[in-house]
Structure 1
Amino acid sequence: MPTNIQLSIVIPCYNCRDTINSTVQFIRSQILETHPPLEIILVDDGSSDTTPQILKKLSDPYTRVLTLKKNQGRSSAINRGAKLVTSDAIMIIDSDCYMTNPYLISKHLKALSQGASVVFGQIFNSGAGFWARYQNEVAASRLRIKNITAQTTAHFSIHRELFFSMGGFPTCYSSYGFEDKDFLCQISNIISSDKVQFLTNSVEHRDDLSLSGLCGKLIIAAQYSAPLFHRRHPDFYEATPYGKLDLRCSPSLLSNIAFRLSPIHSMGCRLVAPLLEQQWIPFGAKKLVVRLLMALAYASGCADR
């Protein structure tokens, strides 16, 4: 395993005018002792806002911009950017994630040089509201169980050779959801858990979450992406909470109850959303209700196929 690994960064960009400049500036502020200037590849995935103009201003000898005329999805954007990488390793980071730790890339390089095949960086939210705490608990849970398929691909690094041996991200998903889970399943089938490292508090995620927004994404994932993922990974899908909520592949008591209650999720979102920032309601109670509504939204999407 080489000890002088070089790393390039690929950032998929879609309508990210409010975040991409900060994302790149945090990367450029990284402290690297022996690594040459970082190669950054910004992939504009058919943005319809002012993202293309911002990316053009960010371009320099070490920051390349690849423009896709039509929106092809995150997976295709990452794969297209990865093909331009000239380094030994590829780092992926979403356009709304900030490297607030100036030594983060050095930690990735150290882990990759010491034998790790993949390095996952923990996402955190520095906010004080319900969604910040909710995100942080989810991230802590992922880190605690250290299961490859439970991670997020919002920020990770991987040896270039391994990435291309897998064929990169699957591009068969045309809608939101499961493309990252599919990618992680492929990794887990190729490498052992001792070849994976996890870094705590790696990048700050500043996405503005909302209950209706998350439920909407889950409905889309259930309608369009879940059937494809189920065909590609049937045993894995049926063992997940998603599979257990899917009446079409798991006709259980749980999925039947979720199916019958699914029509109320929209009304529930409207009623619950204003209450999530109320301090007098225990966080645990709010989290339970949110998870229930998200489960009903997913069940609703499954029923609408």
Structure 2
Amino acid sequence: MPSLVSVIIPTYNRAAVVTRAIKSVLAQEYEPLEIIVVDDASADETHQVVDGLRDARIRYIARSENKGAAAARNTGIQAAQGTFIAFLDSDDEYLPGKLGAQVRAFEALSAATGLVFVNYCEIGRNKSARFPPEIKSGYVHVGRHFPASIYCNPPSAWMVRKSCFDSAGLFDEGLWTLEDLDMFARLVRKVPAYFLADILLRKHVYTCQKGKVPDKYAEQTGERILQKWLPEMRRDRRFLFKFYTMMAKDMARAGKTQKACRFLRQAYFLNPLRFDMLGRMVKLIRRK
């Protein structure tokens, strides 16, 4: 008998797009499946929209307090009955055959395999594949690289053997952003992960500003990631440089000039030839 797949869709104030996500799951040829929509205390018509789809495979769970995507996904994992867990952000959509391809990969690979993730394209930025053709299907070998530096990908692309969360742990609910980066790194460190080069997901970028994580969590998130992963990130200077520059942008957007300059300075020390880091610091200081 085919294995049950549980598709977890966390959502927050995305009544306008969540139907598209759910219908892309219902259109999959793979059976059996269950769809668990976890509403993270939305203030819009999400409940009515989901209820209006009237499909027995859909389970709706309403959280009483908004705690972020990590907490919503954990609620879904704990409620899931499937052997395999797939995720889908409420503004993304599966392409035909996505779930079936991942289950077939699990069946063909070693029983130790814990994660199968697919290639995808971004809608709203461009429609090119996220992973170029030179990255072929195969097991993930990161070497000294930080896992997310090579295989940065969204949870919507994943299918995870549910039992793997026992060893890797659940999503870190202290992270309001980058919780996927943290979870992916932990999974890859704990279980064999396999990449499918087929484009089987559309990731919509900036399609819905509702549900966007507030800037106030950026500093907390960045510091927590560094606390957890800095020793490993230091072995991958290119990734750490990108991380510091991303944090600098977040701090500047939040009006925290001093901390933005600190992250730019750390980025510059990693790559002294990037004189633009110094220029950005000067601009921030003058703006202040």
Give yes or no for TM over 0.5.
Answer: yes
CA drift of 1:182 comes to 0.9
1:180 counterpart = 2:177: no
Tell me the distance in 1 between the aligned counterparts of 2:204 and 2:89. 11
Alpha carbons of 1:259 and 1:191: their partners in 2 closer, same or farther (altered >3 Å)?
A: farther
Alpha carbons of 1:158 and 1:24: their partners in 2 closer, same or farther (altered >3 Å)?
A: same
CA drift of 1:190 comes to 0.9
Contact 1:122 1:143 in 2 (8 A): no
- CA distances 1:165-204 after superposition (whole Å, capped 9, x unpaired): 222111111x33x211111111121124xx4132421111
Alpha carbons of 1:80 and 1:198: their partners in 2 closer, same or farther (altered >3 Å)?
A: same
Question: Aligned to 2:131, what secondary structure does the other structure show?
Answer: helix
**Aligned residue number for residue 275 of structure 1:** none
**Aligned residue number for residue 72 of structure 2:** 77
**Aligned residue number for residue 108 of structure 1:** 102
CA drift of 1:56 comes to 2.5
1:119 counterpart = 2:116: yes
**Aligned residue number for residue 46 of structure 1:** 41
The one-letter code matched in structure 1 to 2:200 is: S
Tell me the distance in 2 between the aligned counterparts of 1:237 and 1:231. 11
**Aligned residue number for residue 8 of structure 2:** 10
**Aligned residue number for residue 259 of structure 2:** none
Alpha carbons of 1:108 and 1:260: their partners in 2 closer, same or farther (altered >3 Å)?
A: same
Instruction: Give ranges in structure 2 of 5+ residues lacking alignment.
Output: 246-262
CA drift of 1:262 comes to 5.0
CA drift of 1:54 comes to 1.1
Which has the larger helix fraction? 1
The one-letter code matched in structure 1 to 2:7 is: I
CA drift of 1:62 comes to 1.8
- CA distances 1:27-59 after superposition (whole Å, capped 9, x unpaired): 111113xx33x2110000111222122122235
- Taking structure 2 as the reference length, the TM-score comes to 0.73
Alpha carbons of 1:59 and 1:81: their partners in 2 closer, same or farther (altered >3 Å)?
A: farther
Tell me the distance in 2 between the aligned counterparts of 1:87 and 1:217. 29
1:196-275 equivalences in 2 (<5 Å): 196-208=194-206, 223-238=219-234, 239=237, 240=239, 241-243=241-243, 245=245, 246-247=263-264, 252=269, 253=272, 257-258=276-277, 260-261=279-280
Question: Aligned to 1:233, what secondary structure does the other structure show?
Answer: helix
| Identity between Structure 1 and Structure 2 (%) | 18
- Taking structure 1 as the reference length, the TM-score comes to 0.70
1:151 counterpart = 2:152: yes
Question: Aligned to 1:58, what secondary structure does the other structure show?
Answer: coil
Contact 2:121 2:199 in 1 (8 A): yes
Tell me the distance in 2 between the aligned counterparts of 1:94 and 1:189. 24
Contact 2:85 2:160 in 1 (8 A): yes
Contact 2:135 2:197 in 1 (8 A): no
Contact 1:94 1:155 in 2 (8 A): no
CA RMSD between the two structures: 3.3
